[in-house]
Every structure is written in C-alpha cells, then in structure tokens.
Amino acid sequence: MRAFILFVSLLGVIMADTSDLQLKFVQIVTRHGARAAFDDIPNNAAVWNCHLDELSISASDLSSSVPGVLYRKTYIKGRMHLQGDCAQGQLTVAGWKNHLTLGKAFRKRYVDELQFLPNDLNTSLIYVRSTGTIKDVRHPLILTDSPRTISSVQANLLGLYPTSHRPSNPIIDIYRVETMMEDILPSTDCGTLMNACYDIQNSDKWKAKEASMSDLETKLKTAWNTSTLPWWIGIWDNLYSRKFHGIEFPPGIDRDTADQLEQWALWQLKELYSRDVVKSLGVGRFTRELIDVFDQVMASQTGDLRYIHYSAHDLTVALLLSTFESLNSIKKWPKYACSLQFELYQNKTDGGYHVQMLYNREILDIPGCGPLCPYEKFKRMASLSIPDDYASQCKSQTIQNPTDINTVDFVSPGPLAVRLQCGTFYVQISRTIAPFPHCITPYTPPSLCTHQMYKEKSVDNQSFRTTTQFYYPTAAHRMTVKRARDEPPKWLSYHAQLSLQWKNAPTIPRSDPSLPCNILEQRERLQTIAEEPEETTCT
C-alpha cells in the first residue's frame, strides 16, 4: 500500500492523501445554529429576535398539494423570560442560516467533490437523528423534541439538497429517542457522573482558578450594580450570543474582557470533560453507537445507507473531541453550527479501513493516531471511553454513612423529604455548594446558585418536605442540622426522589424505618408513593 503523504498547506491545514482510498460511510455530529441566550446579564437585558418571516417558504417552492394555510408559533408579549420574541435558547434566523450554509458546504464536499452522494436527494441513503434539548435551564433533565436542533438539521438538509434537487414532497424522517433513553447528551440520572463533576469543581485546582477571577468578579458586580453574578459560563454564553447577533455588550465588557471570559469558560469545559469517567459516562454510549455503525458498514449490514447526521449540542461535540484526545487542541468554545465529521475509508489495494475526523471541516491530527487513523486503532481509542455496564457504573451513593451528621452535602433531584425525631433541631438547607449541574449544562441562572430553601428552621419531632424554588432536578445542597441540646439525633434520614417523570406534582418516597439512627442514606431509586414516610419509634 502506498504510504500516506501528509503535509501542511499554505493555510496551515492538515491534509491527507486519500487517492488510494474509497469513502464508504459518513457520520456527522453538529451543534445547532445560533440561538438566543438562556439568561440575561443582571440589570442589562438584551432584546432577542426570533421572528421567522425570513424563513417563510416562497411560492415557487410550494407544491400545489400543500394546504394554503401556514401556522406560526408566536409567544405572548410580556410572558417570556427574555425580552423580545425569543424563548430561552430558541434558534434565531441567523442560526437557521448557519446550518443552511453548513449544508451547502457538505454538498460541495460529498456531492460535488467526492461524488459520494448523488446529485438529487435519495432518502434511503440518509439517516437523521436529533437530540432532545433542555426545555428550560431550570429543568435540565426535561428534554423535548428540540426546535433548535430539529430546525437546524432541516436547514442543513436544505443546503445539502436544495428544493431543485429534491423529488416532489419528499419525506425525510428525523429520528428521536425517548428522554430516558437519550445517550447523545449526558444524563444527570448517573450518580457516578454527578459525583465526578462535583469532585472536579471542588478541587484545589478549580478553586484556585476561580480565585484568580476575583478582580473581574468585583469589576462586573460594580458595573452591573448587582451583588451576585451568573456562573461564568453563563456569562460567556450570553456574551457570545450577543456578539453573534450584533447586540451591544453590557457595561464593563470590552473585547479583551470577553476574550478572557471565553478562555475561562473553555478552561472549565476542558477541565470537566477531560476526565475519563466523564467521557465514559457522559457520551460513551453514543460513542459505542458510532463504532457499531462502522462495524456494520464493514460487515455489509447497512444496506443503501451511507450518510448519518446527528443534530446535537456543544456538550456532545466537546465530549467526542475529548474521547479522541482532541479537546485540548481547540482554542475556542465549540461555535454555533460546529461540526464533527467521521469519514470511513477503505483502501482500494488491501481492503483495510481508516477513519478521518474533521472538526469544523478541517482534518484533525488525532493524537497517537494521525489524520488518517487505521480503524482498529481508532476503535481501540474509542473503546477506552465506552462503559462496560452503564447502569451499574452509574450507581453511586453521594453520602456513604458519615459519622458526623451535623453538616452534610448531598444531591437532591427534586423534592427532599427529611425526618428528624427524638429531639428539637434547627435545620438550615443552604445554596448549592458548587455549580454541580453544569457538568450537564453550563447555562444556569444565578438564582439557582444562591437560593435558600430553609434558614434556621426549627424542627421538633417531625418530618418536613422541601423543594428548590425552580424545581431543579439536580442540585447540590448543604444541609446543616444544629441540635437544640448537646445530644445526637436518634433518627435522621433524607430521601431524594429520583423519578424523572415530572408530569405531575411529585410525591415523597417511602422512608425505611429500619435505618440506624446515625446513618444518612440516599437511595439510587425509591418507589414513589403518596403516603408520608412511616413513623419510627425512638429508643
């Protein structure tokens, strides 16, 4: 087999000689296009425009069989979190155009240059899947059929196959999986993943980095006339959205400060997602799907299919980059409509397979593997981040029988039921002790990091319930129990409801009266019932 000739072009882009290779299959993962921010800068709200008049289908594009009425979803003025006509995180017109342009670039590569796809649309060759998305940042595990990921991939496909290259009224399926089975995004239902993120964000390295931002924190609090700030990545997200849409930065932010915030946010992203356990439990199941598809291609089990497009999020792209040891090489946060292309080639001479990865349409030199990676080596690298048994590996107790139960840190997905008996106690449940959920989504309103559920609440031989103000499915809290007398509580336990079915008001799980008096326990799953926890006799 002729050696692959690698060189660096005048543009500094890594290239690979693929003249001896035949492209066999393509899998693409993209981030959605530009969107409105999730939250506003304190006292400096921006006005966001998602009005989609520009997206109306022209008369020449409409078949006569299409009904003559079009419907448009419009939000009621004054009943939205953001100013303007955008919901939180909603795809904007600019975001739709992002993917239209990207789709045209894919057409140039796969239709015009490589002649891998036909000139006209053949739906049997293409498979499309869209992730769920965060319906609201206050409910990060409530996923829905994402308008921004679905609209993004629709625009992308229009660029790949314009209407002039489509049959009349084609049907392109966009596949989804149910929320509880979604694997393209990390899941807060994985206790081990949550604990890993918590440990990272409470490490000395993380705290030292945060301390280095104290001067900027003081500067922004003064400029914005506020005592609290959103999480840093939340600030950067807002600034990035503003910059992309030509919206003026708030006071205290110039270009240098914005660049500093981006690098700080990118550092946090890399620090979280470079850990093996986060890669494995965050996106490892999806990595297995990518590998399984290539295995099926080599076994001639995919039929006519040759092109898969996954419409996802920046977190997915970042975790996949980390899986193949390429996250540390990027200099910017994964941009709107960023893309990862996995191209499977077969050598025409010896039949061997190779994978080429492209990030934002530039070939990646995969560390330890090169720009054209032998498939078996690529597969071994991927296997390092594929969990053997995801369900078992995700089971983890946040609290493991501490001896001192005066103060305890815990994870509370949903309501919290606490039972204190045999004495009078003062219970304080304070703010999140770390931006714990940000391992899953970095866009969290500041109120979630400062909310106090109880402060010095007297509890005398009774149970009480508590729910975070925004009903946040996963949050790290600190519970402090102050004894009224110098004696240990005879019985104390807490139970967090872990059901992710949020359709109705949740109920409190049943307590286990057999628990020892000095043990705190969080169960992995508890039967949800309507009754209060059972009584326990104090001895």
Ordered per-residue pLDDT tens for the chain, 539 residues:
333 333 323 233 455 666 789 999 999 999 999 998 877 788 777 777 776 543 433 333 333 344 455 556 666 666 666 766 777 788 888 999 999 999 999 999 999 999 999 999 999 999 999 986 543 333 333 344 468 899 999 999 999 999 999 998 888 999 988 777 889 988 767 778 877 887 888 889 998 998 999 999 999 999 998 888 877 888 898 899 999 989 899 999 999 999 999 999 999 999 989 899 999 999 999 999 999 999 999 999 999 999 999 999 999 999 999 999 999 889 999 999 999 999 999 999 999 999 999 999 999 998 888 899 999 999 999 999 999 999 888 875 433 322 233 444 444 444 444 444 444 444 444 433 333 333 333 333 333 333 333 333 444 444 444 433 323 333 444 444 444 434 443 333 333 332 222 222 233 233 333 322 222 233 222 222 223 334 444 34
- Please name the residues in contact with 265: beta carbons below 8 A apart, sequence gap of 6 or more: 232, 233, 236, 237, 333, 442
Query: Do residues 383 and 415 both lie within one domain?
Result: no
Asked whether residue 70 is assigned to any structural domain, the reply reads: no
Query: Do residues 283 and 348 both lie within one domain?
Result: yes
Query: Do residues 364 and 468 both lie within one domain?
Result: no
Query: Do residues 472 and 348 both lie within one domain?
Result: no
Q: How far apart are CA 21 and CA 18, in angstroms?
A: 5
Asked whether residue 72 is assigned to any structural domain, the reply reads: no
Query: Do residues 269 and 301 both lie within one domain?
Result: no
Q: How many domains does the chain have?
A: 3
CB atoms within 10 A of CB 58: 7
Q: Token match 């007297």: residue?
A: 458
Asked whether residue 43 is assigned to any structural domain, the reply reads: no
Query: Do residues 305 and 384 both lie within one domain?
Result: yes
Query: Do residues 331 and 236 both lie within one domain?
Result: no
Query: Do residues 179 and 307 both lie within one domain?
Result: yes
CATH number of domain containing 135: 3.40.50.1240
Query: Do residues 246 and 283 both lie within one domain?
Result: no
**What are 346's strand-pairing partners?**
22, 353
Range of the domain at 249: 192-273
**What are 463's strand-pairing partners?**
419
216: its two tokens: 């900027």
Smallest CA-to-CA distance from 72 within 2, 185, 151, 168 is with 151
Burial class, 55, CB count within 10 angstroms (exposed 0-12 / middle 13-18 / buried 19+): middle
Instruction: Enumerate the H helices of 299-430 as residue ranges.
Output: 314-323, 375-383, 390-394
Query: Do residues 130 and 238 both lie within one domain?
Result: no
Q: How far apart are CA 531 and CA 436, in angstroms?
A: 30
Q: How far apart are CA 534 and CA 512, in angstroms?
A: 8
Q: How far apart are CA 24 and CA 60, in angstroms?
A: 36
Asked whether residue 1 is assigned to any structural domain, the reply reads: no
Asked whether residue 106 is assigned to any structural domain, the reply reads: yes
Smallest CA-to-CA distance from 528 within 509, 511, 513 is with 509
CB atoms within 10 A of CB 505: 8
Query: Do residues 262 and 207 both lie within one domain?
Result: yes
